Amino acid sequence: MKATAGPSAEVDPVPRSSLDEIVANYQIDISCTKCQTRSARPIGFLRAHATMLCPKCGALLLLDVSLVRQEMRHIEKQLGRLRRQLLTVLRARSQGGSAAEALPPFDEHDAPRSRRGV
């Protein structure tokens, strides 16, 4: 009887679910249109709600979903690049190479943006 090897079960050191959690927990500042108070809310909250109450004055705020989605896409792209870089470094180390040689040059788009109000 011939033994066959199944597909290699390489363990992913940076699970995609962890990156999804990071995005969902990333805080975005929301500005009240009435009193100008800024309050941070996680993207997960903003995905699930179209409105929120201002914690200071109680005004009903309509959340600009398009800006939230734009910010989420930007964060997801940054985290995707970071994940690819991390995997490249881990693979280089496991093959005995230098981590510095494996890294692509720094791209200004990888620099974090400040939190923007919505």
Q: What is the pLDDT of residues 27-42, one digit of tens each?
A: 888 899 999 999 999 9
Q: Is the dihedral of CA 91, 97, 100, 102 positive or negative?
A: negative
Which tokens is 111 given?
């620099």
* Cα-to-chain-centroid distance, residue 69: 12
**Domain range summary for the chain, segments of one domain joined by +:** 27-105
Instruction: List the one residue out of 90, 88, 82 whose CA is nearest residue 107.
Output: 82
pLDDT at residue 12 in the model: 55
Higher pLDDT, 109 or 96: 96
pTM over the 0.95 mark: no
Share of the chain above pLDDT 90, in %: 19
